[in-house]
Amino acid sequence: MEYYDYIKSLHLIFVITWFAGLFYIPRLFVYQIEAFQKPSPDKEILGKQLKLMAKRLWFIITWPSAILATLFAIWLLLLIPDWLKQPWMHVKLGFVLLLFAYHLKSHQIYKQLQQDIIKWSSNQMRIWNEGSTIILFSVIFLVIVRDAVNWVYGVIGIIVLSILLMLGIKLYKRIRTKNPDA
C-alpha cells in the first residue's frame, strides 16, 4: 500500500493519454476520408501525411497508453481486491470492456485507412468520435459517485449526453455546409 498513490497516479496518467489518443484518432480519420476525396496531388500529399500522423499517434501514444493503463489498473486491483466485490466496479469493468471494443474497432478502421479502404463517411466518423466521450463520462461519474449512483438517472444522463452530442454534430454539419472552411 506504500506505493498505492504512485500506481493510481500512473494509472490515471495513462488513462488520460489513452483517451487523448482515442479522441484524436477519429479526427485524423475524418481528415483522411476527406483528403481521399480531393483531387491529385492534394489527395496523395495529404493522405501520406495523415497516415503518418495516425501511425505515430496510434502506436506511440494510444496503444502504449492502453496497455500501461490496463497494467496499472490490474496492479491496483491486486492491491485492493475487495473492489472486485463492489457493484460499481463490475459496471466500470463493463465500460472498460466496451472501451477496448471501441479501441479495437478503431484499430480496424486505422488499418483500412492505411490501405486506402474507405468504408465510413466523414460524418459517420464524426459520430464514431463521440463513442469514447460517452464512455469517459460514464466511467468518471461511476468512479466518483460509486454507490450513490442512481442507475435510472445515470442512464438518462448518458442518453441526454448522447442526444446533445448528436445535435452538436448535426449543427456542425449545417454550419460546415454553409461555410466549407469551418
**Is 92 annotated to bind ligand?**
yes
Amino acid occupying residue 39: P
* Cβ-based neighbour number of residue 135 at 10 Å: 20
- Torsion sign across C-alpha atoms 8, 13, 16, 19: negative
Closest CA to 161 of 123, 122, 135: 135
All residues at 6 or more sequence positions from 19 whose CB lies less than 8 Å from its CB, including other chains? 132, 136
Q: Which residues are annotated as a binding site for heme?
A: 11, 92
Q: Which residues are annotated as a binding site?
A: 11, 92
